[in-house]
Amino acid sequence: MNDFVIADPGKCIGCRTCEVACVMAHQKEQALEKLTVENFSPRLRVVKTAKVTTPIQCHQCEDAPCAKACAAQAIVQQDQSVQVIQGRCIGCKACLMACPYGAMDLVLTAAPAQGESKVEALKCDLCRKQDGGPSCIKVCPTKALYEVRGSKMVEQMQNRRKRAALGVTSSR
Ligand code: SF4
Ligand code: SF4
């Protein structure tokens, strides 16, 4: 089972620190002063409504609709997560349309070597290329975000089933 990051809406205060950390984690220069409105493309988005404030991010779906919709095979299951192979993306937007959570984004990035812009399908990659795990989790001041390990989840489910079975047995 895939790993994924999940948020507790009850703890989120809508400060958007997670969005900034996400952008910085994926920025080559690692320079806050290089952030602009145009290049600010976080892979999770804080949504604020009258009733709830919470980050929305990729669920790392096991049978990922985005991957199934991609004709360029640019979205793959890899390292207990769903990853985009940017070199294959042609910017057709099929993945955006397919994702039920609105977790996929499409951005144009400068590609100076080619003297033109390059399109990228962006979603949470669980910061797999960074040391120490997802950056959003590390910076959240209220600890509203946490990572669920797929393997741990399976173990928890097995334990719950065992407890449920014991409960049934002892009530007899
Ligand atoms: S981008 Fe959407 S469809 Fe694709 S794995 Fe993430 S949540 Fe699932
Ligand atoms: S936008 Fe890119 S990743 Fe998304 S479906 Fe099209 S080719 Fe695949």
**Distance in angstroms (rounded) separating the CA atoms of residues 75 and 55:** 22
**Distance in angstroms (rounded) separating the CA atoms of residues 144 and 55:** 9
- Ligand 1 is surrounded, with C-beta below 6 A, by 58-61, 64-66, 82, 99, 101, 103-104, 123
Q: Among 57, 53, 58, which residue's Cα sits nearest to residue 19?
A: 57
pLDDT band (50, 70, 90) for residue 150: very high
CATH for 1-60+124-171 is: 3.30.70
Is the pLDDT at 19 greater than 90? The verdict is: yes
Stretch 1-16: mean pLDDT: 96
DSSP helix/strand/coil, 76: strand
* Ligand 1 pocket: which of 2, 5, 58, 84 to mutate (most atoms within 8 A of CB): 58
Q: Does residue 107 contact residue 120 with C-beta atoms inside 8 Å?
A: yes
**Distance in angstroms (rounded) separating the CA atoms of residues 158 and 62:** 19
Please tell me which residue, 113 or 127, carries the higher pLDDT value: 127
**Distance in angstroms (rounded) separating the CA atoms of residues 19 and 139:** 10
Beta bridge partners of 145: 7
**Distance in angstroms (rounded) separating the CA atoms of residues 121 and 95:** 8
Q: Where does the chain hold its CATH 3.30.70.20 domain(s)?
A: 61-123
- Sign of the torsion angle spanned by Cα atoms 67, 150, 120, 128: negative
* Ligand 2 pocket: which of 77, 82, 92 to mutate (most atoms within 8 A of CB): 92
pTM of model > 0.75: yes
- CA 76 to mean position of chain CA atoms: 14
Q: Concatenated DSSP letters for 110-170?
A: EETTTTEEEEEEE---TTTTSTTS-HHHHH-TT--EEEE-HHHHHHHHHHHHHHHHHHHHH
Is the pLDDT at 111 greater than 60? The verdict is: yes
CATH topology of domain 61-123: Alpha-Beta Plaits (3.30.70)
**The pLDDT value given to residue 171:** 42
Nearest CA to ligand 2 atom 5: 70
| pLDDT tens per residue across span 68-101 | 999 999 999 999 999 999 999 999 999 999 999 9
Is the pLDDT at 172 greater than 70? The verdict is: no
**CA-CA distances (angstroms) from residue 73 to 37, 82, 87, 94, 165?**
30, 12, 11, 11, 43
